[in-house]
Amino acid sequence: MFDRLLLTGAAGGLGRVLRPRLKARCRVLRVSDIADLGAAGPGEEPMPAPLQDKAAVMALLQGVQAVVHLGGISTEHAFEDILPANIVGTYHVYEAARVHGTKRIVFASSNHVTGFYRQSETIDPRMPVRPDGYYGLSKAFGENLAQFYFDRWGIETVSLRIGSSFPEPVDRRMLATWLSYDDLERLVWAALTAPAVGHTVIYGMSDNVTTWWDNTPARHVGYRPRDSSEPFRAAAEARQPAIDPTQPADLYQGGGFVTRGPF
């Protein structure tokens, strides 16, 4: 059990999923977002804070043992929209962790860091990044920031290149990228509690039959998925009977992100 954990982006889609699950594993869960956090439950500590506000983020990390950092814009936008929360804000989180002595961060990166690899390829976390947009670029920055803060100050991070975490996969692409909510919890908890991670990058996916990602270099994190997209295959293929491999969204791992914009 942790004494106090911080969950940023707690009002977002995955934040709402993880909020009760993380609260069950710590004495106090500090939750933050700029959106409405709702009523605080027992053992919750709401602290709204814009990530681009350095003083607010500095206060947010005071007294925190570890951080699950989901905060920021989670889809493709213009660079001017991405910059304040995803780039400046992530720097503020790491700098506040340094000042307050927080030693473990779980960083919500994204599969869009490598979205310009083809769906016919299998890649692992050690391969060069190929962002598919400004959002993926911001997550690549966050991973580099994590490496720097570990090398310089010993702050450990597991960067989760999250695939598609929804109740079920809705198309053929998600048969490869799907991450169940239960496996998401298993992944985050493994990232928080693994004995030594340095800076480790791991893809967030369930135990899917179709896969583009090889997590072998991150096995020391201890994440072992238990769910699979396979029970949903027939429904996903019925929704999308065919794909066109000449179209970028069907050719590249990033799907539709590879063609979004300009803004």
How confident is the model over 161-200, as pLDDT tens digits?
999 999 999 999 999 999 999 999 999 999 999 999 999 9
Catalytic site positions = 135
pLDDT at 262: 87
Q: Is 212 left (phi over 0), alpha (psi -120 to 50) or beta?
A: alpha
The 10 Å Cβ neighbour count of residue 247 is 12
Domain tally, the chain = 1
Q: What is the pLDDT of residues 16-68, one digit of tens each?
A: 999 999 999 999 999 999 999 999 999 999 999 999 999 999 999 999 999 99
Peptide bond into 262 cis (omega under 30): yes
Checking if the pLDDT of 8 tops 90, the result is yes
Quickly count: other Cβ atoms within 10 Å of residue 238's Cβ. Answer: 8
Structural contact between residues 134 and 78, judged by C-beta atoms closer than 8 angstroms: yes
Confidence of residue 1 (pLDDT cuts 50, 70, 90): confident
How many residues would you count in the chain? 263
The predicted model scores a pTM of 0.97
Q: Residue 69 sits in which domain range? A: 2-259
Burial class of 184 by CB neighbour count within 10 A (0 to 12, 13 to 18, 19+): buried
H-helix or E-strand spanning residue 7: strand 2-8
118: domain CATH number is: 3.40.50.720
